[in-house]
Structure 1
Amino acid sequence: MSTASPDSTAVGTSGGTSTVSVGTVTGWHVLKVERYSELKGVGIGKGEHIKSGTFSVGGHSWHIRIFPNGVDQVSPDWVFVGLYLVSSSNVVKAWPTFSVLNPDGKPARRVTSTGMQAARTFSSSSPWGCTYDCIKRAELESSYVKDDSFQIRCDVTVFKEIRVETATIESQIVPPPDLHRHLGDLLASDIGGDVTFEVGGETFPAHKYMLAARSSVFKAELFGPMKENATDQIRIDDMEPRVFKAMLHFIYTDMLPEVCSGELRTVMHQHLLVAADRYNMERLKLICEDVLGKCIDTNIAATTLVLAEQHDCPGLKEACFRFLRRPGNLRTVMASDGFQHLKNSCLSLLEELLAKVAL
């Protein structure tokens, strides 16, 4: 089983949009008023009106009313124009605009009251069921009445239902990172290799820039003052080929290859810890510390403690002390070959051990 592996979770995102819109239907109707002088004189009184024929917009019936002499006693100098909802079982929202037309039929002036630039609510059940706008009679007569007639156009926009459209935006599922796999394939293929290591009679091709990126020691050896006479072939002593191969695999993939279980696995991680410390590969070193700290027993406790002391692994060292504090463990370890190695190689460590662990 690999000791460490990159995140293998596929990444995907999803989202959506909502669009809110109002359906509208627009129509218009023109009311032409002839013999205007008669209407404003005796034909139509204050508050009385003339009306257009019925027309349909948005499925509803409407008509226009014009009040030539105002709608009440206080507005005799104004001409009022209004839109009426003739019949409908529902409340209707609409936006009417009124325009006085030139004799050629083109809009000349909008007739819209201040503050009324919005949709209005119409209902046939209302006493009015309408809306009014107005224009000064003097302005109408001086500018728009010709041959004793004028035209009023009403544009009606009926607002229908509010529509909400929702769209789901699905992104592509992004596969998990696979750089480690590609780099592992590169190592195995020997494509572009520019340096070869000789370890225990075996050769291992590699790439200088990859090694330099992963290890400050390799960087100095290959590109810095420590570089070995610009050679492309480097010999490494004091390391087993399988250990160097596993370290190379980690350099390229950030993972350790599958290793044997049991004692062989422990020995491999001990050697890898030494290699990681030698080449200043802190992550690999911590991985090895973690593995070794979980498999301490009476057979390897002493050698692991020496290893932790020699390669500055305080976490692993403390794990050994905790193991040796357990009843009976120290006495058993003291009878092992590893303990003799500890006594011969690290006297100060032995003194520290005896001071911390009571017999």
Structure 2
Amino acid sequence: MATRCRSSGFIEIKVDFAGSISRPAIDHTVRSDDFSAGGHIWSVEFHLTGDTTGNGVYFSLSLQLVNESKSKSVKAITDAFLLGRGGTPSSSHGKRWVHVYPTPDGSPSSRNYLKFVKRSVLESGYYVTDGYITFMVGVIVLGVGDSPIPVPSSDIADHLGHLLDHADSSNDVTFSVGLKTFGAHRAVLAARSPVFKAQLFGSMADAEMRCITLHGIRPETFRILLRFIYTDALTAGDDCDGDEMQSSSDIDLFQDLLAAADMYQLDRLKLMCARKLWGCVSVETVAKILGCAELYNCSELKSECLDFFLLEKNFKIAVLTHGWFQLMQSFPSVIDEIRARVPQT
């Protein structure tokens, strides 16, 4: 029985052990059915071989690349192991190796693994069921999808970022935010945000306006939001990871961005901001960040903050912060959630 996916394939093989040990000749070979892995056809051969050192008789195994590869070579990982009674994989009688088919010196496209398992082990009976021993062999082909014709990585974000940076000649909408203006392209904004689509192409008055004034958002926040829309990248906070972003300005920036992402239904940006804010969480900041998560419907960030809050050592300090009192005033339902989950003493 064989199964496969794009880069790997597995085959389960039953060998007539009783018949094999009655003919312990070196040339006695059992060959599996062909199976597919990584776009290639393979087969497995089992041999009953005598060991000239006098250590006994062994079953050996080889993996054969049946079809010729269009590329120069195929590199594959092979896993082979015995199955015990009930189909339990053996932890002591299994082998793994990596091999290139064919070898650089032009030798046959197979790899023998001598002394795979000693015959005396099989004669113990644990691995024999109804006269048969069962092997499982898996093949993982490395580099599946590689091609002699290289394809460069996508650079659409670079192109759209360039378009944003040089929007003066091609933009068809301008946003006035505070004392700054930002040029943009209606089609790009509409493709990325359903809110912008309704605003710029729907029945709203903004659809006819060349310059739109935005309120309730800071210029720096809108600049980062706009660049995310064009490049799918969050440029703010690139210079530091979560453990280093502890300042109030860091938290304020990402709270503003999370609010803007929620407003324009940019779910990926929203979660990216949530991750940044989670990196800012401490006993001093958790209440403030929890309030932001509740206000802007970020359930993932809220859940993490609640779990952090409920650690006893954190709770005792967090309830003394200014953020806790703000949380009590603005989100009493969150306070109720916390109290319901705090163990009663």
What TM-score results when the alignment is normalised by the length of structure 2?
Answer: 0.53
Alignment partner of 1:287: what SS? helix
The amino acid of 1:269's aligned partner reads: F
Asked if residue 214 in structure 1 is aligned to residue 214 in structure 2, the reply is no
Cα 1:17–1:238 change in 2 (3 A) is closer
Matched with 2:225 is: 247
Kindly indicate whether the alpha-carbon contact (under 8 Å) linking 1:212 and 1:218 is maintained by their aligned counterparts in 2: yes
Deviation at 1:284, TM superposition (A): 0.8
Shift of 1:358: 3.8
CA shift at 1:342, angstroms? Answer: 0.7
Provide the residue aligned with 2:53 in structure 1: none
SS at match of 2:161: helix
Which protein shows a greater Rg?
A: 1
Partner SS, residue 355 of structure 1: helix
Quick one: which amino acid aligns to residue 277 of structure 1? D
* Superposition deviation, residue 170 in structure 1: 6.6
- Residue type matched to 1:213 in 2? A
Contact 1:187–1:252 under 8 Å retained in 2: yes
Given the alignment of the two structures, is residue 332 of structure 1 paired with residue 317 of structure 2, yes or no? yes
Distance in 2 separating the partners of 1:344 and 1:17: 68
Cα deviation for residue 16 of structure 1 reads 3.0
User: For residue 222 of structure 1, what is the amino acid of its counterpart?
Assistant: L
Query: Could you report, residue by residue, the CA deviation over 1:123-175 in whole angstroms, capped at 9, with x for unpaired residues?
Result: xxxxxxxxxxxxxxxxxxxxxxxxxxxxxxxxxxxxxxxxxxxxxx9733221
After TM superposition, the structure 1 = structure 2 runs for residues 18-57 of structure 1, keeping only pairs within 5 Å, are: none
Matches within 5 A, 1:1-359: 16=70, 171-190=148-167, 191-228=169-206, 230-259=208-237, 261=240, 262=245, 263=247, 264-358=249-343
The letter of the residue matching 1:189 is H
Q: Which has the higher contact order (CA 8 A, sep 6+)?
A: 1
Separation in structure 2 between the aligned mates of residue 170 and residue 318 of structure 1, nearest angstrom = 45
- 1:349, distance to aligned residue in structure 2 (A): 1.5
Q: Give the match's secondary structure for 1:205.
A: strand
What is the rounded CA distance, in whole Å, between the counterparts of 2:70 and 2:324 in structure 1? 67
Instruction: Quote how far apart the aligned CAs of 1:235 are.
Output: 0.9
3-state SS in 1 of match to 2:70: strand
Whole-angstrom distance in 1 between the partners of 2:251 and 2:303: 18
| Inter-partner Cα distance in structure 2 for 1:236 and 1:295 | 28
Q: Sequence identity, in percent?
A: 37
Question: Following the alignment from structure 2 to structure 1, what is the Cα–Cα distance between the partners of residues 209 and 224?
Answer: 23
**How many aligned positions are there?**
195
- The amino acid of 2:216's aligned partner reads D
Distance between the aligned counterparts of 1:238 and 1:319, measured in 2? 28
3-state SS of 2:312 partner: coil
* Contact 1:321-1:357 at 8 Å conserved across structures: no
Cα pair 2:290 2:302 within 8 Å, conserved? yes
Unaligned runs of 5+ in 1: 1-14, 19-168
- 1:179 is matched by which residue type in structure 2? I
Q: Secondary structure at the match of 1:328?
A: helix
Q: Distance in 1 between matches of 2:188 and 2:165?
A: 14
- 1:328 maps to a residue whose letter is K
Q: Distance in 1 between matches of 2:272 and 2:188?
A: 20
- Any unmatched runs of 5+ in structure 2? 1-68, 73-145
Contact 2:310/2:338, CA 8 A, preserved across alignment: no
Q: After TM superposition, give the deviation of residue 227 of structure 1 in Å.
A: 4.1
Structure 1 residues 227 and 281, CA gap change in structure 2 (3 angstroms): farther
Verify the 8 A CA contact 1:324 1:357 in the aligned structure 2: no
Distance (whole Å) between structure 2 residues aligned to residue 17 and residue 303 of structure 1: 58
User: What secondary structure sits across from 2:170 in the alignment?
Assistant: coil
CA–CA separation in structure 2 for the residues paired with 1:358 and 1:235: 50
Q: In the superposition, relative to structure 1, how do residues 348 and 222 fare at CA in structure 2: closer, same or farther (>3 Å)?
A: same
Alpha-carbon distance, 1:245 to partner: 0.3
Contact kept? 1:220, 1:227, Cα under 8 Å: no
What letter matches 1:251 in structure 2? I
